[in-house]
């Protein structure tokens, strides 16, 4: 019997990726089906559905699922799920497809899946605005003037509003993982849930924490992982290797930085580095819940949630992504079907920083000193300094990692302005 947390949804890993002769036959059939172009986000979602990362989902959501997820944090059947997973299509494609049809989903000329259409539905612009408010609106200053700033400054809202108004729902057969298994830059990093579970089992782990990364790993990230290692058998440093917003650092550079850090500053047998194929949704607290949900499928039972997890601008308060875990269904109450409950719990950690007087990493709970004695750490602040050629403060990152990042920025031909929000700048620290 496995000691690891079971996959989410109570059905084991729901794997929709076809391989071998079964894939060959489905791909041949797909060549004769109507082709529908999908977005980069939908491609990542398909791969996660295929490899079991989005268990128990076996395809794209119905309108009832969409409404329940936005409103209640559950699928229509009551299973916890925090964000919509949708397949939008053009008006023209929707008109050419009937319920019961099969279609091929492709991206840039490659067929990624077939979909059995169980439902066609529409979402008006007002309904997409409602989704944006339910899923992406937080309690921060920017959310107080949400529609004055969201369309310009919130990439998650921009993606929702840019979707079409027509949708297809139904189960999928996934035929491709893109180049994640073959591209040398992801070699050994892209891992399926079954693979991480096998690694954890082999190492005898039963309690596993996940560190979510979309920025280069700085001293605060390192400190969070080491706190987790004090209370868990191991940590997976799990990087997003799908698409990011302009100005973010590409996956291969971040992975090289993490390798360097693990080699020099961790006990290797207690750390696994991996990558997962999603695009960022920039959904703040809801994305923190999504991170915990699919990490459960990877065998993780503790999700590290620090300051401003998955935050965007000043749309969310500093610890909103921690607080939301206390507000979701089945918390503090008996769940009639334990498989429907989120079992990956948050490992809530306070604001961490380097303190010169403490002479080490500390947090608001452990350091009695003032703001002027602290080096405020954030991925955004690091990217801004490096992109502008500014000096990086002492103790912000490990020297070996900064060498890699400086080399990357020095060779950039186009640079993107990095906006500094309060959470990253330290303005809110007392």
What's the confidence (pLDDT) of residue 216? 76
214 is catalytic: yes
- Tell me: cis bond preceding 56? Omega within 30 of 0 counts: yes
On the question of pLDDT at 159 being above 50, the answer is yes
On the question of pLDDT at 423 being above 60, the answer is no
163, 192, 214, 295: which is the annotated catalytic residue?
214
What's the confidence (pLDDT) of residue 427? 55
Evaluate whether 119 touches 170 at the Cβ level (below 8 Å).
yes
**What are the DSSP calls for 264-288, one per residue?**
HHS-GGGEEEEEE-PPP---HHHHH
Q: What is the pTM of this model?
A: 0.92
CA 334, 340, 343, 348 dihedral sign is: negative
What's the confidence (pLDDT) of residue 244? 66
The closest of 424, 319, 322 to 379, measured between CA atoms, is 424
Evaluate whether 105 touches 114 at the Cβ level (below 8 Å).
yes
Distance CA 250, CA 243 (A): 8
68-72, 124-128, 292-296, 403-407: range with lowest mean pLDDT = 403-407
* Average pLDDT rounded to a whole number, residues 43-47: 97
On the question of pLDDT at 413 being above 70, the answer is no
The residue assigned the tokens 């729902």 is 169
Helix boundaries (H) for 190-337: 193-202, 219-231, 251-265, 284-297, 320-323
In the chain, pLDDT over 70 holds for what percent of residues? 94
pLDDT tier at 104, thresholds 50, 70, 90: very high
* Average pLDDT rounded to a whole number, residues 13-32: 98
Distance CA 371, CA 149 (A): 30
The residue assigned the tokens 């996956």 is 251
Distance CA 398, CA 391 (A): 14
16, 173, 215, 297: which is the annotated catalytic residue?
215
On the question of pLDDT at 424 being above 80, the answer is no
The closest of 174, 195, 183, 182 to 44, measured between CA atoms, is 174
- CATH topology for the 184-430 domain: Rossmann fold (3.40.50)
For residue range 106-118, list pLDDT tens digits in order.
999 999 999 999 9
Distance CA 412, CA 37 (A): 31
243 is catalytic: no
Terminal-residue alpha carbon distance, the chain: 49
For residue range 383-397, list pLDDT tens digits in order.
777 777 777 777 778
Higher pLDDT, 405 or 5: 5
Q: Where are the domains of the chain?
A: 20-123+163-174, 184-430
pLDDT tier at 43, thresholds 50, 70, 90: very high
On the question of pLDDT at 34 being above 90, the answer is yes
Distance CA 282, CA 142 (A): 14
Q: Tell which CATH architecture fits domain 20-123+163-174.
A: Roll (3.10)
The closest of 147, 150, 114 to 26, measured between CA atoms, is 114
On the question of pLDDT at 420 being above 50, the answer is no
Please, what is the average pLDDT of the chain?
A: 91
CA 190, 192, 193, 197 dihedral sign is: negative
On the question of pLDDT at 85 being above 50, the answer is yes
Q: Which of 57-61, 394-398, 421-425 has the highest mean pLDDT?
A: 57-61
Q: What does the longest C-alpha to C-alpha distance in the chain come to?
A: 68
What's the confidence (pLDDT) of residue 263? 93
What's the confidence (pLDDT) of residue 377? 66
Secondary-structure percent of the chain, ordered helix, strand, coil, rounded to 5: 40, 20, 45
Helices 399-410 and 379-387: crossing angle in degrees, nearest 10, is: 50
Q: How far is CA 373 from CA 143, 227, 306, 363, 430, in A?
A: 31, 22, 21, 12, 12
Radius of gyration of the chain (CA): 21
For residue range 341-397, list pLDDT tens digits in order.
999 999 999 989 999 999 999 999 999 999 999 987 666 677 777 777 777 777 778
139-153, 202-216, 340-354, 409-423: range with lowest mean pLDDT = 409-423
On the question of pLDDT at 316 being above 60, the answer is yes
What's the confidence (pLDDT) of residue 384? 75
CA torsion, ordered 371, 376, 380, 382, to nearest 10 deg: 130
Domains 20-123+163-174 and 184-430 share a fold: no
What's the confidence (pLDDT) of residue 304? 97
């Amino acid at each position: 019997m496995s000691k690891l947390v079971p996959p989410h949804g109570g059905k084991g890993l729901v794997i929709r990726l076809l391989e071998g002769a079964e894939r060959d036959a489905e791909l041949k059939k797909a060549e004769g089906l109507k082709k529908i172009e999908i977005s980069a986000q939908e491609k990542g979602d398909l791969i996660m559905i295929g490899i079991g990362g989005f268990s128990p989902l076996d395809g794209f959501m119905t309108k009832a699922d969409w409404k329940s997820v936005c409103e209640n944090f559950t699928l229509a059947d009551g299973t916890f799920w925090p964000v919509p997973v949708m397949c939008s299509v053009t008006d023209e494609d929707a008109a050419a497809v009937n319920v019961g049809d099969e279609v091929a989903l492709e991206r840039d000329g490659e067929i990624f899946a077939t979909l059995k259409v169980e439902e066609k539905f529409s979402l008006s612009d007002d309904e997409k605005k409602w989704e944006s408010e339910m899923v992406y609106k937080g309690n921060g200053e920017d959310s107080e003037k949400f529609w004055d700033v969201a369309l310009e400054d919130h990439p998650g809202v921009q993606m929702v509003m840019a979707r079409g108004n027509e949708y297809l729902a139904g189960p999928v057969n996934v035929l491709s993982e893109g180049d994640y298994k073959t591209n040398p830059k992801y070699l050994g990093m892209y891992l399926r849930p079954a693979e991480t579970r096998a690694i954890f089992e082999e190492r005898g782990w039963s309690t596993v924490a996940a560190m979510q990364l979309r920025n280069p790993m700085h001293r605060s990230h390192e400190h969070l992982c080491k706190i987790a290692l004090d209370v868990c058998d191991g940590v997976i440093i799990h990087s997003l290797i799908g698409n990011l917003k302009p100005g973010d650092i590409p996956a291969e550079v971040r992975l090289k930085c993490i390798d360097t850090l693990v080699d020099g500053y961790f006990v290797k047998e207690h750390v696994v580095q991996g990558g997962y194929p999603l695009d960022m949704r920039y959904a703040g607290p809801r994305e923190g819940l999504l991170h915990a949900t699919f990490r459960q499928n990877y065998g993780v039972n503790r999700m590290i949630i620090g300051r401003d997890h998955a935050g965007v601008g000043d749309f969310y308060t500093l610890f909103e992504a921690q607080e939301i875990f206390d507000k979701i269904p089945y918390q503090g109450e008996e769940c009639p079907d334990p498989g429907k409950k989120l079992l990956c719990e948050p490992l809530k950690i306070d604001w961490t920083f380097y303190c010169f007087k403490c002479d080490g990493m500390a947090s608001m709970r452990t350091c009695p000193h003032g703001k002027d004695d602290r080096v405020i750490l954030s991925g955004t602040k690091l990217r801004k300094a490096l992109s502008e050629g500014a000096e990086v403060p002492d103790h912000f990152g490990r020297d070996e990692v900064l060498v890699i990042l400086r080399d990357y920025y020095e060779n950039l031909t186009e640079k993107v302005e990095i906006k500094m929000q309060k959470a990253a700048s330290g303005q809110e620290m007392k």
